[in-house]
C-alpha cells in the first residue's frame, strides 16, 4: 500500500512538472502547448486552404484555434515579432537535433 501511495505521488509530481514548461518572450509567458499550437497555425499547409495565409498577427488573431492565452498579444503593436520569436524559440536550429537528416552524426 505504501508503494502505491509513493508511486501515485511521483506520477502526479511528474505530470505537474511536465505541464509547467513555459516559453517567455518580451515579458510574456505562455505554456509550451500554446506555442506549439501557434507554430502549427503558422505552418498551415497553403495547399489545403490557399486563402488562409498567416503573414501577420491580424490573420492569426482572427483564427478561432489561436489559444486564448496568446490573444493578449493581439492588442499589441509588436505582436508579429513576438509570434515569430515564440515559434523560433521552440524550433530546432539544426535539423540534426531531431535526426531529420540521415547524414546526421550521433543520431
Rounded distance between C-alpha atoms, residue 98 and residue 35, angstroms: 18
Straight-line distance from the first to the last Cα atom of the chain, in angstroms, rounded to the nearest whole number: 42
The pLDDT tens digits of the residues spanning 33-50 come to 999 999 998 887 444 555
3-state helix, strand, coil in the chain (%, to 5): 55, 5, 35
pTM over 0.75: no
What pLDDT score was predicted for residue 34?
Answer: 92
Provide the pLDDT confidence category of residue 64 given band limits of 50, 70 and 90. very high
Cell numbers describing residue 81: 515579432
Provide the pLDDT confidence category of residue 73 given band limits of 50, 70 and 90. very high
* 71-83 as b/e: b if 16+ CB within 10 A: eebeeeeebeebb
Amino acid at each position: 500500500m505504501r508503494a502505491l501511495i509513493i508511486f501515485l505521488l511521483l506520477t502526479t509530481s511528474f505530470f505537474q512538472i511536465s505541464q509547467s514548461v513555459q516559453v517567455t518572450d518580451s515579458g510574456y509567458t505562455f505554456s509550451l502547448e500554446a506555442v506549439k499550437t501557434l507554430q502549427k497555425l503558422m505552418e498551415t499547409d497553403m495547399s489545403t486552404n490557399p486563402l488562409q495565409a498567416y503573414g501577420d498577427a491580424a490573420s492569426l488573431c482572427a483564427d478561432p484555434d489561436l489559444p486564448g492565452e496568446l490573444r493578449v498579444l493581439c492588442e499589441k503593436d509588436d505582436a508579429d515579432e513576438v509570434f515569430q520569436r515564440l515559434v523560433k524559440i521552440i524550433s530546432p536550429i539544426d535539423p540534426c537535433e531531431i535526426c531529420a537528416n540521415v547524414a546526421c552524426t550521433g543520431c
